[in-house]
Amino acid sequence: MLQTAFTELVGCSVPIQLAPMGGAGSPELAASVIQAGGMGMFATALVPVPAVERLVAAVAARTDGPLGVNVLMPFYDDALIEAVASRVRLVDFYHGAPRAEAVARVHGAGALAGWQVGAVDEARAAVDAGCDVVVVRGIEGGGRMWGDRSLWPLLDEVLDAVDVPVVAAGGIGTGRGLAAALAAGASAVRMGTRFIATAESAAHDVWKQAVIEAQPSDTVMTDAFSVLWPNGPEPHRVLRRAVEAAERTPSDVVAELRVGDHVMPLPRFAAVPPSVHVSGEVEATALYAGESVFAVRGTERAGDIVRAVAQDAEHRLRSASTTLA
Ligand SMILES: Cc1cc2nc3c(=O)[nH]c(=O)nc-3n(C[C@H](O)[C@H](O)[C@H](O)COP(=O)(O)O)c2cc1C
């Protein structure tokens, strides 16, 4: 019932996009969101191209609904676009100035192109570069940050500045948030934090439990977890307890990440969030989370969240229009 320019463009039935999330993303999570009517996404930073291809294939084996991949510009690689753009509906970029040749490469492979932005000029530049969709991301959100604006005033400005479908991201995890974004003129929301503790998420149990227990005031903007981050110290929103645990520990290497037969040591303050493949002092790793932690109070199934948020938003929008009449 919540048909928008975004749902029509990408071919989903609910205007909810799973955020691409390092550490928490999994084929099961993406497929579950897609099967409930939303759009699935994968993060690709630090994931080798063949592994991204396997993730895309694993989702395709479960559902033929819309899946996208995200590229963080510090990790941009033409080879990844060549390998996967023809097999996904959308390639989405973040954390760097919009680049027309990257967008053209995505379009050449037959996919839609999107840019997640943190400023109005960046949104205009994304559209000038040829993007089909713009994601407006506020500092309330979890994970690495590009821009320093709160969501709602930035969304308001961007909606006046561009004429492509706009997705709102950052601190949205409920039907109220979705209803507010749609009422403002956004075509969808992107939710990340709300899905970290889901049954299908690949997040480590320590991270899931910490998100379940957290209040918005337990999250903090910091540049602390920037080891292994290509640009050096840059802001991100993370649980404060992770910063404190990393400050407390005497270890230079706090954990290790297993990828197949390969074991990668994770130094103190590494930018890598803990998936189930991480072991060690997990509480001292990058426990990314946004202010929408207030909506996470237990382990739920991702598809149930999508359905409940959409239903609640629809109910609220109907009540609001009845009030007007
Ligand atoms: C754990 C985590 C990892 C993330 N990784 C990425 C990423 O790799 N690429 C990206 O563009 N955004 C990433 N984001 C940001 C999301 O795209 C989105 O803007 C954010 O999750 C929205 O705010 P919310 O967490 O309050 O829902 C990440 C967010 C989280 C919480």
95 plus 162 within the same structural domain:
yes
152 plus 213 within the same structural domain:
no
- What's the pLDDT at 259? 86
163 plus 109 within the same structural domain:
yes
With a 6 Å cutoff on the Cβ, whether 169 touches ligand 1 is yes
In the block, residue with structure tokens 């320590």: 206
Average pLDDT over residues 202-218: 98
- What's the pLDDT at 1? 82
Three-state DSSP state, 44 = coil
Question: If we measure between CA atoms, which residue out of 290, 305, 18, 296 comes closest to residue 138?
Answer: 290
Average pLDDT over residues 15-23: 98
With a 6 Å cutoff on the Cβ, whether 187 touches ligand 1 is no
Three-state DSSP state, 219 = strand
CATH number of the domain at 53, please.
Answer: 3.20.20.70
Segments in the chain forming alpha helices (H): 5-10, 27-35, 49-60, 78-84, 100-108, 120-128, 151-161, 175-184, 193-196, 205-213, 240-248, 302-324
Average pLDDT over residues 197-216: 98
**Measured CA distances, 36 to 14, 15, 181, 315 (Å):** 8, 11, 20, 18
Give me ligand 1 centre to Cα 170, in Å: 8
56-92 pLDDT, tens digit per residue, is 999 999 999 999 999 999 999 999 999 999 999 999 9
167 plus 278 within the same structural domain:
no
82-120 pLDDT, tens digit per residue, is 999 999 999 999 999 999 999 999 999 999 999 999 999
Q: What is the dihedral of CA 186, 171, 290, 97, to 10 degrees?
A: 30
Domain that holds residue 265: 205-292
- Global confidence as pTM: 0.98
267 plus 302 within the same structural domain:
no
Best residue among 93, 144, 145, 296 to mutate for probing ligand 1's pocket (most ligand atoms within 8 Å of CB) is 144
Query: Model confidence at 26, in pLDDT bands (50, 70, 90)?
Result: very high
Question: If we measure between CA atoms, which residue out of 164, 169, 173 comes closest to residue 195?
Answer: 173
Asked if residue 312 lies in contact with residue 319, where contact means CB atoms within 8 angstroms, the answer is no
Average pLDDT over residues 4-14: 98
269-306 pLDDT, tens digit per residue, is 999 999 999 999 999 999 999 999 999 999 999 999 99
DSSP character at residue 171? S
Angle at alpha carbon of residue 68, lines to 255 and 197, rounded to 5°: 45
Q: Characterise 273 by phi-psi region: left (phi > 0), alpha (psi -120 to 50), beta (else).
A: beta
248 plus 318 within the same structural domain:
no
288 plus 142 within the same structural domain:
no
161-170 pLDDT, tens digit per residue, is 999 999 999 9
180 plus 223 within the same structural domain:
no
45 plus 175 within the same structural domain:
yes
Best residue among 21, 39, 154, 275 to mutate for probing ligand 1's pocket (most ligand atoms within 8 Å of CB) is 21
With a 6 Å cutoff on the Cβ, whether 24 touches ligand 1 is yes
One-letter amino acid identity for 228?
L
How many domains, the chain? Answer: 2
Q: Whose CA is nearest to atom 11 of ligand 1?
A: 94
**Measured CA distances, 139 to 16, 124, 162, 205 (Å):** 19, 19, 21, 25
Average pLDDT over residues 126-149: 98
- What's the pLDDT at 324? 76
With a 6 Å cutoff on the Cβ, whether 143 touches ligand 1 is yes
143 plus 242 within the same structural domain:
no
Q: Percentage of the chain surpassing pLDDT 70?
A: 100
192 plus 225 within the same structural domain:
no
- What's the pLDDT at 322? 83
98 plus 66 within the same structural domain:
yes
Residue 261 scores a pLDDT above 90: no
- What's the pLDDT at 275? 98
Give me ligand 1 centre to Cα 130, in Å: 23
